[in-house]
Chains A and B, each alone.
Chain A
Amino acid sequence: MTPLLLVSFALAEEPAAGAPVELTVHGNLKTFVLGGKPHQWFEFSDGAETLLGSLGVDPDEALDAYGLAADPFAEGVASGRLQVGVSYGAFRLDLHWAGSAASSAPSTGAAGFGTGVGLTAPELVPLSWSPDTGSGVTLRHRIDRLVLSAKLPHLDVALGRQAVSFGVGRFFTPLDLVSPFGPATIDTEWKPGVDALRLDAYAGMATKVTAAAAWAGKPVFGDDARDEGRPVLDDLVLAAFAQTTVGVTDLGVFAGDVRSEAVFGLNAVSALGPVGVHAEASLTLPNVDDPFVRAVAGADWRPGDQTTLTGEVYAQSFGATKPEDYLDALDSPRVKRGELWEAGQLYAAVAVAQEITPLVSGNVAVISNVRDPSALLSVAIAWNVADNADVALGAYAGLGAAPDPIALDFALDPNTGAPSLAAPTDAALSDAVNSEFGLYPAMGFVQAKAYF
């Protein structure tokens, strides 16, 4: 426990004699079934097909043998979360275990796709583990919350693993710099916890200043997330965010030292008649590369009691201007650690949420790279089948020019003359990309959730 937290706790009013200890236990169980069809990235060149033909080998079977065939995939995922909370006066301890079992390793979400369960977040203190099942099932366990907090007069203090969010963006989140969700994360119910010390100081009704120190190294699972040779403190996110309300407008100012880079930001949320509007911008000053700006502006409107429209436009000076540079952008440390997911520079998004019945809601969203042009379409229907049970059905589809198949050749061993498959060059991979969201395969899912 840090001295700061000790001092804060000392400032807290002592719980009244006989103050009850409150224990709350909740949790959930979820199951997913996913299926889709990835893009066919590879094919054999004419010469390679001739060679395979001379050997009596079917090219499709050869692709399959090399693991390069774009076969349809299906995956089953089961997950659970147990939430235990203990409160005593002004103090509270939260402990959440989250576990998942999948027929393959869940996506990290860094590239945008993910179920949202079994997510990996940076861990200064390793509290994730994946036992060897000796089968094709991947088991993951994580302590996703372990946070001690105190609610003091005008001050909240929290130390430990907790969710940390900044910003007001819906699809695009320039100020949410710690483990934001990707654009195609199916289940965004729980934001992964990170190891942090957080202070929220309040003045008046709606003025607050948040100061947080969160560790945000590599999002690897069940392993030491610290980069060898890189000082641990270099991966800290030190952030200060001040917010106040003027009339019906919330205004916020952000300043931070994010992984040793200075980041500044502004945001605002207000209303223009019945339309809610929001805007946010950040300026990042890297130590080596050029400064870059990220900015989003959006609106929410309910044209009827059952319909909600949301739209956003987003621009960033980080990112590629040409499709052949997207893979480099996606391979950048910023994308890999989940700081951002956009490979391009100019985007627009719109979503329609429709209450079909009081228990059934539909959601259609389109996130578009305006310059490609390409888009990610998502459609989902959720049914509240009981007080504590939901079923959801949905699909994602990348709309835009799919990558061109890369022609693979066989290289002959100069000593033995035996043919071996030549790995595609980075340039060939990059040149194959035609649009950002054209990279996304089509995918569908069914999800069932139960809570207790």
Chain B
Amino acid sequence: MLTPFALLLGSALAAEPTIEELLAATDDVARGTSSDAVMEMHVKTANYERTMKMHAWSSGKDKTLIRILEPAKDAGIATLKVDDNIWNYLPKVDRTMKVPAGMMSGNWMGSHLTNDDLVKESRLSEDFTYTLTSRPKENPEGLYVITLVPKPEAPVVWGSIVAKIRPDKLPVSIAYNDEKGKAVRTMTFADFKSMDGRMVPGTMTILPADKPGEFTSMTYVSIDFDVKLPDSTFTLQALKP
């Protein structure tokens, strides 16, 4: 027969999320099984600031459609990713161009984001091996700290990643290191708010380690999770506005 203490302990233990749950929640923090979002990107460097607005649809990790709304000169340019296929549509010349996955490296539109950040091809919960470095009771921030190393075949460029996640499974920061363990950048999550009935970070910020004062922030103007998107959303037809 279980004592009340044992029940409480069991309940407490059951409530503690697993590492897999923490990582999956971080992967899906602004994604869900599907999502429909409008977001603004703000890039600040030592020499310039740029802003961009885009509409993005996603389904799982394999389907993403992004259409640029602002600035005016790029409005209408769209990127579709389905599985390993990526196409760009350039409305001014009516061309749909296939983009090899190998061409997707590098930063996106002058920001500190990589193309992979946009299409979210990799997932912490699937493409990395992980170790729980610290529990909430073991650090003053009260966070789960998880160290991740990419699997050999994973489509990522990082040597290791350190994720800090709140007990309610919301991420606080993800630090990315190169293969020598040197810090490359940190992604922070802030401005948590309820959007479409879900608590999400309203703003995600990329801070490059070697450029103090520079950042790229992504702020959600709107986001709907687990929306039923038409089958045509992730097709060549949807690339055209």
Could you list which residues of chain A lie within 8 angstroms of chain B, going by C-beta atoms? 24, 26-28, 92, 151, 153-154, 156, 162-165, 168, 188-191, 200, 202, 204-206, 208, 243, 245, 247-248, 250, 269-271, 273-276, 278, 300-302, 304-306, 308, 355, 357-359, 384, 387-388, 390, 449, 451-452
User: What distance in Å separates the Cβ of B215 from its nearest Cβ neighbour in chain A?
Assistant: 13
A205 touches B82 (CB 8 A): yes
Given contacts A154-B237, A248-B84, A387-B50, contact A190 B92 (CB under 8 A): yes
Given contacts A26-B72, A26-B75, A189-B92, contact A302 B106 (CB under 8 A): yes
- B133 proximity list for chain A (CB < 8 A): none
Which of B14-22, B196-204, B228-236 participates in binding chain A? B228-236
- B98 proximity list for chain A (CB < 8 A): 168, 250, 269, 276, 278
User: What distance in Å separates the Cβ of B241 from its nearest Cβ neighbour in chain A?
Assistant: 8
9 A–B contacts from the bound complex (CB under 8 Å): A24-B75, A26-B72, A191-B92, A271-B102, A273-B102, A275-B100, A276-B98, A304-B106, A387-B51
| Cα separation A388 to B82 with both chains bound (whole Å) | 30
- A449 proximity list for chain B (CB < 8 A): 73
| Cα separation A250 to B236 with both chains bound (whole Å) | 12
B99 touches A276 (CB 8 A): yes
Given contacts A206-B236, A274-B102, A302-B102, contact A245 B47 (CB under 8 A): no
| Cα separation A40 to B45 with both chains bound (whole Å) | 49
A274: nearest chain-B partner, CB-CB: B102
A358 touches B107 (CB 8 A): yes
A275 touches B102 (CB 8 A): yes
A247: nearest chain-B partner, CB-CB: B84
Q: Is B94 an interface residue (CB 8 A)?
A: yes
B101: nearest chain-A partner, CB-CB: A271
- B106 proximity list for chain A (CB < 8 A): 302, 304-306, 355
A388: nearest chain-B partner, CB-CB: B71
- B85 proximity list for chain A (CB < 8 A): 205-206, 245, 248
A205 touches B73 (CB 8 A): no
Chain B 75-110 interface residues, beta-carbon cutoff 8 Å to A: 75, 82, 84-85, 87, 92-95, 97-103, 105-107, 110
| Cα separation A270 to B240 with both chains bound (whole Å) | 22
- A245 proximity list for chain B (CB < 8 A): 85
Most B C-beta atoms less than 10 A away, residue of A27, A28, A245, A304 = A245
| Cα separation A175 to B52 with both chains bound (whole Å) | 34
B101 touches A208 (CB 8 A): no
A305 touches B107 (CB 8 A): yes
| Cα separation A156 to B236 with both chains bound (whole Å) | 11
B72 touches A388 (CB 8 A): yes
User: What distance in Å separates the Cβ of A249 from its nearest Cβ neighbour in chain B?
Assistant: 9
The contact of A308 among B75, B103, B237, by CB within 8 Å, is B103
- A250 proximity list for chain B (CB < 8 A): 98
Q: Is B5 an interface residue (CB 8 A)?
A: no
The contact of B94 among A163, A270, A359, by CB within 8 Å, is A163
Given contacts A451-B72, A451-B73, contact A163 B93 (CB under 8 A): yes
- A28 proximity list for chain B (CB < 8 A): 72-73
B105 touches A358 (CB 8 A): no
| Cα separation A269 to B101 with both chains bound (whole Å) | 12
B106: nearest chain-A partner, CB-CB: A305
B93 touches A274 (CB 8 A): no
A191 touches B234 (CB 8 A): no
User: What distance in Å separates the Cβ of A272 from its nearest Cβ neighbour in chain B?
Assistant: 9
| Cα separation A206 to B237 with both chains bound (whole Å) | 8
| Cα separation A409 to B72 with both chains bound (whole Å) | 57
A191: nearest chain-B partner, CB-CB: B93
Besides the contacts A248-B85, A384-B50, A449-B73, what 15 more A-B pairs have beta carbons closer than 8 Å?
Answer: A28-B72, A162-B94, A163-B92, A202-B236, A205-B234, A245-B85, A269-B98, A271-B100, A276-B100, A300-B100, A301-B103, A305-B106, A306-B106, A357-B47, A452-B72
Given contacts A358-B110, A359-B110, contact A190 B93 (CB under 8 A): yes
Chain B 180-211 interface residues, beta-carbon cutoff 8 Å to A: none
B71 touches A451 (CB 8 A): yes
The contact of A208 among B75, B100, B237, by CB within 8 Å, is B237
The contact of A302 among B71, B97, B103, B232, by CB within 8 Å, is B103
